[in-house]
Amino acid sequence: MANMNFNTSFTPITVDPDKIYDHSFAIIKEEMGDHPFTDEQWLVVRRVIHASADFELGRSMIFTPDAIEAGIQSILSGRHVVADVQMIESGSGRKRFQKHGGDLHCYIADEDVAKEAKAQGTTRAIISMQKAVRLHEGGIYAIGNAPTALLELIRLVKEGKAKPDLIIGMPVGFVSAAESKAELAVLKGIPFITNKGRKGGSTVTVAALNAISIMADERANETK
């Protein structure tokens, strides 16, 4: 059996969690260099890069001019957040939503959603978006896994059945992921955050959502 001795002389720069964050963000800023993002957009982009270690993904991000402010105001107004998958639900700092009167919801695992999806021969992601729109007015939709969820939400917006405060749409994958984000990028009348191409995922969607909720918290603290 091979010797599995992984002893190393490497010593971490720091084990202080706050200093690790600060050092990571300093590295990201240096390696990113010049970029087209506003100061507030950059707070989202750098957290996405931090979550993914992917500068290409960060550079591909697209924001409507009102996206950040729309997300902040939605949280501060106590609107709810809807996620396409439970990974987003578990990864988000939902306490930041709850203290402003909202919460984070994911319906994809609900029994009624699964039953209806089977009856219609479609995805649970699609039915979960339909359920969310029936239950919640406005709010933030965070979609990081299911392109069909994003495409369905876009359809509902176009038909006047949904009007989210903000869509964070960054599903990952090879089937319809890039196309769904391209559809979002030309959607009119709804603030959004997305990116180009196949990359994305629940982790980076959570990162973007958390960046906005942190900004909302800071805004609330400033007004106290």
Q: Active-site residues: which are they?
A: 50
3-state secondary structure of 104: strand
Are the C-beta atoms of residues 47 and 214 closer than 8 Å to each other? no
Report the amino acid identity of residue 218: E
If one counts every other C-beta atom within 10 angstroms of the C-beta of residue 220, the result is 15
If one counts every other C-beta atom within 10 angstroms of the C-beta of residue 119, the result is 9
Identify the helix (H) or strand (E) that includes residue 168: strand 166-169
Report the amino acid identity of residue 195: N
